[in-house]
Structure 1
C-alpha cells in the first residue's frame, strides 16, 4: 500500500474547518475510482503560510520537503483575473525555491461557501431544519451555485430564515461557520463533481497523482 500525504494552504480559519476533511474524503474517492492500487490517503494537513504571500508559501514548502506529496493551494476565484495571477505567482515562487511537489489549485467560484450550496441535504442535516425549506432557498442544480454573486450571504439567509424558526439556537452561537466541520463530513462529493470549479480540482488532482505514479501503486 502506498501513502498519500497532501498539505493545504487556505485563506482563513473557516476554510480550515471545511476544506481539509472535504478534500481528504474527495481524494480517497478519487483514488478508489481511478487508481487500482491500494492508496492510504492521509488526513490533509494545513500548511502554516499566508496564502497571499507566495514567497512564504515556498519557504514553508521547502521546510516540509519530503513530508508531503501534493500541495493544495486554495484561493477564492473572484475576481477571476486576480485569482489566476496569484496562482501563477505561487507556482513561480515554488519553482524558484526548488519545490518539486505538484501544486493543485483549489479555486471555488466565488468562494468556498458556494460548494456548501451544492448539497442541500447535508446543509439541512447539520442545521436540523426541513430539507424542503432548504431546497426552496438554494439553487436547483449543483452547477448553478457558481452563478450566485454572494454565496456567503445566501448561507446567512438560510440561517436567518430557517434555523431560528424551526429550532433553538446552539448555546455556543449559530454563526454559519460553526457548522463547517460537520458539513465537511457530510457533503456529497458526487454532487460537488457537478460544480465546474470542483470538477477542475478533481481533474487536476487526478493528473497530479498520475504524474506521481499512483497509477501503478
Structure 2
C-alpha cells in the first residue's frame, strides 16, 4: 500500500506506515505500507527531468527553468528576475503560466512515460521510495 503525502504531511504519513506495519505483524497476510513522500511536493519529481519536460511542453515554456541539476528540485529556488524562493508547485505555475493546471492534468501521464528513471534516481526522496518498494517486495516474497 502506497501512502502519499507532501512534505507538510510527512510525520503523519510515517506514523500511519508504522501503525499499518504493526497491524501487519498481527494479521500476517496484510500488505506492506510504503510511504511516498517527496521532499516538498510531488510536483518536484515532475520537474526533475528537463529533457522529458521539454518533449512534453516544448522548450519555449522552459526558458526560465531554474534548476541546475535534478536533485535541486527538492528545494526552494528563485526564478530569474525574482529573489523569492519558490516551491516546485510555484515554479510549475511560473513556467507554464495560466494553463499550468490544465497542462498538468492533460500531460502528466505522457510526462511520466518520458521521464528517465535514472534522472529521478538522482533525487533522494525518489531513492528512498525505491528502497521502500524493494523492502515491501522482499517482505512479500517477490524478491
TM-score category of the 2 structures, normalised to the smaller one: 0.7 to 0.9
- What is the TM-score when the length of structure 2 is the normalising length? 0.77
| TM-score normalised by structure 1 residue count | 0.53
Equivalent residue number for residue 196 of structure 1: 124
Unpaired runs of 5+ residues, structure 1, are: 1-70
Cα gap change, 1:203/1:89 in structure 2, threshold over 3 Å: closer, same or farther?
Answer: closer
8 Å CA contact 1:120, 1:138 repeated in 2: no
Structure with higher helix content: 2
Number of corresponding residues:
130
The match for 1:137 among 46, 65, 69 is 65
| 1:121 matched residue in structure 2 | 51
TM-fit CA distance, 1:194: 0.6
Question: Aligned residue for 1:83?
Answer: 10
1:159, 1:176 within 8 Å by CA — same for their partners in 2? no
Aligned CA-pair RMSD: 2.5
CA gap 1:212/1:135 in 2 versus in 1, 3 angstroms? farther
Residues 130-161 of structure 1 show CA distances to partners (whole Å, capped at 9, x for unaligned) of 4xx6264131111111112411110111112x
Matches within 5 A, 1:1-217: 71-78=1-8, 82-93=9-20, 95-96=22-23, 98=27, 100-130=30-60, 134=62, 136-148=64-76, 149-160=86-97, 174-215=102-143
Deviations 1:33-60 (A, max 9, x none): xxxxxxxxxxxxxxxxxxxxxxxxxxxx
Q: Matched residues in 2 for 1:154 and 1:194: separation?
A: 19
- Partners of 1:119 and 1:175 in 2: CA distance: 16
